[in-house]
Structure 1
């Protein structure tokens, strides 16, 4: 652990870490401020609230599905540090549009006609921003770090990401919407200046033409990656994980409001606990594996995650709502006798999730040539985003069918089983000191 933390003193890692941390913070400050305000102030029924939460998730994910192939090509064919700076400059413009939407919705001006469309447009643009930054944040690590530092660096990036998500999520639930509007723009500027210190990471390939046909390039990229068995198993395992995660994140705001009868500060607390758990799991698995990239603990981790989701469902089902249509404030929620068991269940879900997914991301970038890492991550993002869209559609479908949010948790737990099976196959087939190109 101490060896990994030493990377924070290195210029080849620290600026990237700060840039990624600020980007994740800004994404979540903006998205959660928007979703929580709309769920609690605009809509007044569980179906509409779940629909909007799922719509926001889907809009953010669609660019990953459409543009990941292009982003992977650019990351492998161009200097990654230069792309990072262009992406972070674009974030300033995007967040200015988003801040305008937040200001309008707070003022009650053209909420449905202009404010919400502006917010969703900015969210879509931030999805594009993350699509182009995503492959780079993982693919640049093997280029800047030594082989025995990659797992530790990946763990720190994941832990830092979820700590940033934690901070953005907590602030979104407690600060006024007008403060969030200012905060997202200021953070975008700071992130841009941090990105300028990222060391150069030139392409390791001979320059080739970029295929801008997004459908053709996406199909070619996924086909060229998924035919390799070890990558297929890793990508499918990660995709099932994110399908589970997308349904959980969609469910949190309406579940907190309608089942636990708590205000938006509690919804923010839930997302914060989830982020803390992922960070704990990211660091813990690095300690257990001692720097060796392996899927050894992945099957047990995702089974543990499923068990904690079932426990979370049981506690929610036993929850006594606030009387008389009242909403529990944060202090009232924490005073509830079931609050501690509920929080521990959620922390367990996230901790096991972090232990599951971090080694698989490290696996993707260390079992291919460094010059192919960005495209491998991009192919993973395409499949992941498809799985998350499916998860969003499942959540919408179940809600429209009349299934209460608390019972949807059982389906989420069941989705952990195929995830564990895929991870077990990956561990059995490809763990060891070396993993060849074919199983």
Structure 2
């Protein structure tokens, strides 16, 4: 069964889908509002803005590296629905701290001394929150869905996530100028998310009880080491991680690039992220239809090559845009869209994300279908550990490029080049997949 809309009518899927949607929405509403406010209202330097954007990304990602192993163990050895409710309850407190930071920023009270540190503290805590929620949102699917529904469910979760990001981004573009409203909104949506999480059906542990290793370093090492024995899952993790390395560089670049290269205001910066989110959602659904519910990396290499080509096109469009500007006044959405090249900017961003979604969604399904059900959360957690390390590396690399004076537009070419490595990893994964199928047929 390769259509996914029927799942939205099922209690075994709908509450999880809505909870995840609200989680992604509120994460993005808070983070984007915070970044846009600081970039546009606090700093007035491209280097400082890029530095803050990169630091915010690193602060959010760090908990995935530190705590994913513990989160994966807890998810496999406990009732996943119970953990979801605990995590969503914690979000209410976290967003209360973030809301206070936004309120102080709105009032202009100790912005750099207290407000921004509070905003970063809440962002770090939301990273911890997402670290414990992340393994569950994928690993719970094989427990509640039929085998031929898992790819459809994964695609729907991924599409819903990016549509939620899109909605949160749109709202953040407006609330960056109404910080007091944003402060109330993030707490309100956290409360709604907790209420929907209470409807997720039970998902008890599938394996035998085990002792949890609470040491973040030894548990992370053992979890990643154990998962490398499965070649399909190992290559899927490497390919996903390199994809998100590229993604982290692109997301760090978007707000400063919008302001300093395309001379656009924060609403246009939000529009960029909206088109990116729409594209990933389209790609998530499209690849599920192409594969007809089969978990396969068949289209991954060509998809990421298409993504690289679109990043290159985006670079040339940015260069052409910069050459035609006559002043340094920031444009609003209406002015931006009045330029014919605006649709080339948005179109290339959309295609980058469509190909990206087609590349990465089947790979997430590998993590939960190519391992025993009792280890699915740990496979996702191992992926999050490697992903977070790759994303932090990408963030630091982007900051390093800015520090040595590499222009923002030229940094896009690096992202395009990295797609070649992702394509190679995707091809290795597909080869491992076909070899495993041949071995299975021989065994039969």
**TM tier, smaller:** over 0.9
Match of 2:327 among 317, 324, 328: 324
8 Å CA contact 1:322, 1:328 repeated in 2? no
Are residues 1:380 and 2:383 paired?
yes
C-alpha distance 436-359 of structure 1, shift in aligned 2 (>3 A): farther
8 Å CA contact 1:21, 1:161 repeated in 2? yes
Partner of 1:398: 401
Partner of 2:304: 302
Instruction: Tell me the distance in 2 between the aligned counterparts of 1:165 and 1:173.
Output: 12
Partner of 2:139: 139
Q: Name the SS for the 1:415 alignment partner.
A: helix
Q: Name the SS for the 2:331 alignment partner.
A: coil
Instruction: Tell me the distance in 1 between the aligned counterparts of 2:130 and 2:438.
Output: 30
Cα drift, residue 2 of structure 1: 7.8
Instruction: Tell me the distance in 1 between the aligned counterparts of 2:355 and 2:433.
Output: 22
Q: Name the SS for the 1:368 alignment partner.
A: coil
C-alpha distance 435-279 of structure 1, shift in aligned 2 (>3 A): farther
> How do residues 8-23 of structure 1 correspond to structure 2 at under 5 angstroms?
8-23=8-23
Match of 1:270 among 272, 281, 287: 272
8 Å CA contact 1:91, 1:188 repeated in 2? yes
Partner of 2:35: 35
Are residues 1:343 and 2:331 paired?
no
Report Cα offsets for 1:53-102 as digits up to 9, x if no partner.
00000000000000000000000000000000000000000000000001
Instruction: Tell me the distance in 2 between the aligned counterparts of 1:416 and 1:48.
Output: 28
Moved runs in structure 1, 4+ residues, more than 6 A? none
Partner of 1:230: 232
Are residues 1:364 and 2:406 paired?
no
Instruction: Tell me the distance in 2 between the aligned counterparts of 1:354 and 1:384.
Output: 16
Cα drift, residue 180 of structure 1: 1.0
RMSD over aligned CA atoms reads 1.4
Instruction: Tell me the distance in 1 between the aligned counterparts of 2:331 and 2:271.
Output: 13
Instruction: Tell me the distance in 2 between the aligned counterparts of 1:331 and 1:299.
Output: 37
Cα drift, residue 278 of structure 1: 0.2
Cα drift, residue 129 of structure 1: 0.3
Partner of 1:114: 114
Cα drift, residue 322 of structure 1: 4.7
Instruction: Tell me the distance in 1 between the aligned counterparts of 2:172 and 2:75.
Output: 32
Report Cα offsets for 1:164-215 as digits up to 9, x if no partner.
0000011000132111111100000000000000000000111111111111
Partner of 2:424: 421
Match of 1:208 among 194, 210, 228: 210
Q: Gapped runs of 5+ residues in structure 2?
A: none
Instruction: Give the TM-score normalised by structure 2.
Output: 0.97
Are residues 1:249 and 2:251 paired?
yes
Instruction: Tell me the distance in 1 between the aligned counterparts of 2:17 and 2:378.
Output: 21
Report Cα offsets for 1:298-319 as digits up to 9, x if no partner.
0000000000000000000111
> How do residues 91-130 of structure 1 correspond to structure 2 at under 5 angstroms?
91-130=91-130
8 Å CA contact 1:294, 1:432 repeated in 2? no
Instruction: Tell me the distance in 1 between the aligned counterparts of 2:116 and 2:326.
Output: 32
Are residues 1:355 and 2:358 paired?
yes
Are residues 1:85 and 2:85 paired?
yes
Partner of 1:199: 201
Report Cα offsets for 1:200-245 as digits up to 9, x if no partner.
0000111111111111101010111123222211100000000000
Partner of 1:74: 74
Q: Gapped runs of 5+ residues in structure 1?
A: none
Report Cα offsets for 1:315-360 as digits up to 9, x if no partner.
0011146543211001000111210011110000000000000000
Report Cα offsets for 1:125-170 as digits up to 9, x if no partner.
0000000000000000000000010000000000000000000011
Instruction: Tell me the distance in 2 between the aligned counterparts of 1:313 and 1:324.
Output: 21
Are residues 1:220 and 2:222 paired?
yes
Match of 1:287 among 271, 289, 310: 289
